[in-house]
Amino acid sequence: MTTTSMTTTMTSSFPAEILHRAAALLEQRRRPLLISHPRPDGDTIGCALALRLALLQIGSQPLLACVHPIPENVAYLPGAETYVSDVPEDVDIDLVIAVDMSDLSRTGGIYKDAWCGKFPLLVIDHHATNTAFGDVNLVDPDAAATALPLAALIDALGIPLTGDMATCLLAAVLTDTRGLRTSNTTPEVLRFVGQLIEAGGDYAGVMEKTLDSIPYRQMRGWAVALDRLQLDGQLAWATFPLAEKIALGIEDHDDLDLGNLLSRVAEAKVMATFLEMRDGTVKVSLRSRPGYNVAWIAKVLEGGGHHQAAGCSVTGDLDAAQARVLPLARQELAQHPGEGLGAADSATFARVSARR
């Protein structure tokens, strides 16, 4: 199998000291629990699976957990079948690793309070809203995916990248950049993808199996959402009633990737999807074009995310959720008169430009 050694300067923008502390933790502990976030995406799954393969190489026995089932589009990745949906409080572990999540609640209840102070907690993430909830926080808010700081960590451990590890990391970075489409797809990201292909990663396979394959039921779900699609100025949104989910057999943990679907409405700068859940809440996914920021909207409503993709959960029915979210979305749009950028975002724009 082809192996490639990566240079940390390619993928890390955090202090080397943090990288070394994270690597030391992984070298000292042999039974780590890797937790992926609920409604898992390719980044949280691909990263945990790549790290699992790396840790197996240094004699560790990693355990993987995610409260929800692994989506079909990443279930083919090596090791995906080893995921468990929960672990008992007295599980035999000596380290906890939170993968691709901004705060402790994102473990979906897998993290047990009794572990606090007992096992070190390592956080590997890239969300701007990350609360630094670990003992060691390997968090790079400028990274397009958690795959980048994670690859730097694997490199710091001196573990050569195998083709399988590269395929898992490709699934991570290609999903979070929606197939290298997002504004944070920097030259660094493209070089990273090139390195993963050189290491034997299956780029075409990930594109086909993870990004371009839509299960029939999800496609039927899109039909429902698109039938309810609305556009008001530069704001596009769609609602998804619980009755329709039940009729199609769609579980609450399945968001049908509607946020990304709606993000393609050409006229819209801000997009929102509203999925009615079985517990009396509405799951809201927010997207925006570069220069527009939806992270603050999610944060106001006790959610989180990035400037271009964020989400939150709102109590009440679909009408109530729209009444809370849509005015905030219109507020964001109002800060950007005309086609240009508003003053509020010029600093962000300058920073993004400088990185290019």
Residues forming the site for Mn ion (CB under 5 A):
43, 100, 146, 176
Cβ 269 to Mn ion shortest distance, Å = 23
Helix (H) or strand (E) holding 300: helix 295-300
Tell me whether residue 291 or residue 305 sits nearer to Mn ion (CB atom): 305
For 318, residues 6+ apart whose C-beta sits below 8 A from its C-beta are 239, 241, 274, 276, 282
Distance between CA atoms of residues 308 and 153, nearest Å? 26
Closer of 120 and 149 to Mn ion (Cβ): 149
The least distance separating Mn ion from the CB of residue 146, rounded to whole angstroms, comes to 5
Q: How far is the CB of 100 from Mn ion (least distance, A)?
A: 4
Q: By the 8 A CB rule, do 154 and 323 touch?
A: no
CB of 306 to Mn ion, least distance (A): 9
Q: Quote the least distance from Cβ 126 to Mn ion, whole Å.
A: 6
Q: Least distance in Å: CB of 68 to Mn ion?
A: 16
| Residue among 100 and 345 whose Cβ is closer to Mn ion | 100
Residue 99 or 333 with smaller CB distance to Mn ion: 99
Q: Is residue 258 within 8 Å of residue 264, measured between CB atoms? A: no
Nearer to Mn ion by Cβ, of 64 and 224: the residue is: 64
Helices (H), the chain: 8-11, 16-28, 42-57, 147-156, 163-176, 187-198, 203-206, 216-227, 242-248, 258-262, 295-300, 318-334, 343-355
Residue nearest to Mn ion (CB): 43
DSSP-derived letter for residue 338 is: S
Q: 76: Cβ–Cβ under 8 A, 6 or more apart, which residues?
A: 209
Q: Report yes or no: 119 and 91 within 8 Å, Cβ to Cβ.
A: no
Which has the closest alpha carbon to 225: 245, 214, 239, 215?
A: 239
CB of 41 to Mn ion, least distance (A): 7
Q: Specify the residue, 141 or 342, whose C-beta has the smaller distance to Mn ion.
A: 141
- Residue nearer to Mn ion on the CB measure, 176 or 202: 176
**Contact in structure between 161 and 3 (CB atoms under 8 Å):** yes
